[in-house]
Amino acid sequence: MAEQAPALKRAQPLTLRDRLSHVMNSVISVLSFVVLVIFALAMILPFIFSIANSFKTLPDINANPQRLLPSDLDEDGWPDFSIQGYREVAAGDFPRWTFNSFAYSLSVMISHLILDSLAGYALARLRFPGRDAVFMGIIGTMMIPGIVLLIPRFIILKQLGMINTFAGLVLPVMADAFGIFMMKQFFESIPREIEEAAKVDGANRLMIFARVVMPMSTPALTALAIFGFQGAWNDFMTPLIVVASDKNLYTLPLGLALLRGFAGSQFRWDTFLAGSIVTTLPMAIIFFVLQRYFVEGIAYAGLKG
């Protein structure tokens, strides 16, 4: 809007009130941009420092964490980057853990996209007895600290023979309350008229859901996909109890926790930062790719004006 103001000015004479509002709009735009940049810096700077420090030696990290380049110089006078941390990381079974993490996160993401949307749609639109109770029950499961459920869940998985299996990893988290709740709220905000139009045309509920509702929900599904993938990617406690005794099934967070060493209290920062970056990078790329599906202002076909 700010850029259009001069063109408007030439086209026709403006009242004082119009001028003021244009100035106000420009000021607001500039201020917003400043706010945006400040927040963006606050969010990103820590990672820049982490990446920079991951290429330094341990003593250098401890002595000069604020420097972006290694303090030591090589014989040609260039900063002497250290990859010691990455070497330690590579010594673990990282390729396998990365593969496991991808398999786990993708499975969880896909099953959330299906099961959470189905359940969310049922709760938002389809009236059946006990719907409210089921909804409160689902939200209710989020309110118990997961830590007291670790042992009971282990016992159930043991009864099912799923300890140290990939199925045991995925099955318990194939649907989640957060996703169902989120999808329900999204579906509720979609105008009903569209579905009713399809119903008049003779479509059944599954068809309406798959052909009308889902395609309209790209932003919400994108969010659901991101959260599902990311939740599984960073999950620590759930995989821990299921696959603790099989290194071949470890995901990255478990592998990373192993690298911490010294019972967790003392850090080899070079290894730790390198490991963090190796685990964060794929997630960052996936987010960057998926977030393109947030295109503002979906225009609803067939519902103009």
> Shortest approach of other proteins to residue 170 CB, angstroms?
8
Interaction of residue 228 with other proteins, rule CB under 8 A = no
- Which is nearest to 185 in space by CA: 121, 265, 115? 121
Interaction of residue 193 with other proteins, rule CB under 8 A = no
Mask for 48-87, x = binds other proteins (CB under 8 A): -xx-------xx--xx-xx---------------------
Cα separation, 182 vs 131, in Å, equals 16
Q: How many CA atoms lie within 13 A of 37 on its CB side?
A: 5
Cα separation, 31 vs 50, in Å, equals 29
Count of positions on this chain that bind other proteins (CB under 8 A): 157
> Shortest approach of other proteins to residue 274 CB, angstroms?
12
Cα separation, 98 vs 104, in Å, equals 10
Interaction of residue 25 with other proteins, rule CB under 8 A = yes
Candidates 20, 47, 83, 90: give the one binding other proteins (CB under 8 A).
47
C-beta separation of 267 from 260 below 8 A: yes
Cα separation, 216 vs 224, in Å, equals 14
**Stretch in the footprint of other proteins (CB under 8 A) among 7-15, 69-77, 188-196:** 188-196
Determine phi and psi for 295, rounding to 5 degrees. -110, 120
149, 154, 159, 165: CA torsion to nearest 10: 130
Cα separation, 41 vs 37, in Å, equals 6
Residues 106-135 binding other proteins (CB under 8 A) are 106-107, 110, 113-116, 118-119, 121-123, 125-129, 131, 134
Task: Give whichever of 79 and 88 is closer to other proteins, judged by the CB atom.
Answer: 88
Determine phi and psi for 251, rounding to 5 degrees. -100, 175
Task: Give whichever of 38 and 73 is closer to other proteins, judged by the CB atom.
Answer: 38
Candidates 52, 259, 274, 278: give the one binding other proteins (CB under 8 A).
259
**Stretch in the footprint of other proteins (CB under 8 A) among 7-15, 72-80, 297-305:** 297-305
Task: Give whichever of 81 and 162 is closer to other proteins, judged by the CB atom.
Answer: 162
Residue 102, classified by CB atoms within 10 Å of its CB into exposed (0-12), middle (13-18) or buried (19+), is: middle
Task: Give whichever of 81 and 290 is closer to other proteins, judged by the CB atom.
Answer: 290
Residues 142-181 binding other proteins (CB under 8 A) are 142-145, 147-156, 158, 163-167, 170-175, 177-178, 180-181
Alpha helices (H) along 210-251: 214-216, 218-234, 237-243
